[in-house]
Each structure stands twice: as structure tokens, then as C-alpha cells.
Structure 1
Amino acid sequence: MARTLIKVPATAKRGEVIEIRTLIAHPMETGYRPGADGQVVPRDILRRFTCRYNGDVVFSAELFPAIAANPSINFHTVATDSGTLTFTWEGDKGFTQTESVTITVTG
């Protein structure tokens, strides 16, 4: 399991635009780089990132080999209801990781 860092405000007012910041530890091998033995290191990248807010997709991105290792993905959404934000990273070699955080919406 990869290490993740997720920053979401614990509380927000209804209708407030909130910033969400994510980071995941992943090597992101492009499949083009030669290894120490001269052989090409097999491709191993994250291909998709999705954020769901109470089950509804609020942000998703397709990722490609040019993205940096340990990708940081930051975006904004509107706080509508208290609930759960679920983040899913999908990659090569069957890699899938899902993390969740809760947010309390007032007003």
C-alpha cells in the first residue's frame, strides 16, 4: 500500500469552495528508462485518479507517463453536505488504492 497525504478542511460552510490537496508515493516508471542492467524498466504508472463526494464524482483525471513521481493532485469543489470524500488511484499492474476522509458542512 502506498503512502498518501490528503488535506481537506474538517469543516466548511454550505456553498463554500474548498481546496482539496492529495499526494501519493508512487515511482511512476514510464517504460522508456533503461535500468542499471541496460534493460528497459517496465512501465508502472498511475493511470486514473477519482474523487467522490458522498458517492458522486466531483473530480477525475487520466494520468500519463509524463507525470512526476509521487504525484500531487490539487483541486477545488463546493461543500454541499456533510459526508465522505473518497479518493481512488488506479494504475498499472493492478494497482488500486482508496482512501476516505470526512467533512462536516454547517449552515
Structure 2
Amino acid sequence: MSVLNTLGSRLTRRLGDVQIALPEKAKRGEIIEVRALILHPSQSGDNALFIEEVTFALDGETFCRFDLSSMSSANPYLAVPLRVEKSGMISAHWRNNRGQTGSGQKFLRLTE
């Protein structure tokens, strides 16, 4: 399955949105992959524009943080592992070099 099919068409999303994809089923103690597509342009040079920081959290508790640079691509796609112990809200937040921010979230429900 392609990234765009999993996370949604970029053409129907707003610039700055974060689309999060989670597995449909996860059990306590399992390691899952949290995937995020951030719709954000990237420019280098005098008018540089790029994402500087991305954080992932479960119920507000950060479990992963990325420091990015001007070498990161437009519309970055990130995937991080997470050992799940409880159901909760997964969120991803970004901040760019101009102080603009964006975020997205998706609920993770554990199955028994």
C-alpha cells in the first residue's frame, strides 16, 4: 500500500497538516510503527523555509523528537517505533525555522 493511499491524498489536505497512520490492531507490549506525513514546503537559500523540529507524543508525553535541518525534504515522511502499553492519543507537532507550527493526531486503541 502506498504512503499516499495510507495517509490520504495530498491534494485534499491543507498545507501544514500532519497525517498520522497507525496499525489497525495493536496489542499491549507490541512494537508498532507510527507514520507521519507533514505537508510542508522546503526552500533553501536566502528565503530558507524548512521544518526544524518534530515531536511525537502519546497522551501528551513525548516519546520521540527529531531535529531537522534545511537539508530535509519538502513534505517529510517520518516513521518511528513505539512499544504500546495503553490506548491513547498519538500526536505529532512540528515547528519550522520561521516559528510556524502545525500538528495532527490520531487515537490508538489497543486490542486484547
TM-score normalised per structure 1: 0.83
- 1:5 offset after TM fit, Å? 2.4
Q: CA RMSD in A?
A: 1.4
Q: Distance in 2 between matches of 1:6 and 1:21?
A: 6
1:16 to 30, 51, 59: 30
Listed as ranges, the gaps of 5+ residues in structure 1 are 33-39
2:72 to 48, 67, 70: 67
Flag the structure with higher strand content: 1
2:53 to 41, 48, 59: 48
Q: Does 1:98 align with 2:97?
A: no
Runs of 4+ with deviation above 6 angstroms: none
- 1:48 offset after TM fit, Å? 0.2
The corresponding residue for 1:83 is 88
Amino acid at match of 2:108: I
The corresponding residue for 1:36 is none
Flag the structure with higher helix content: 2
The corresponding residue for 2:4 is none
Matched residues, number = 98
TM-score normalised per structure 2: 0.79
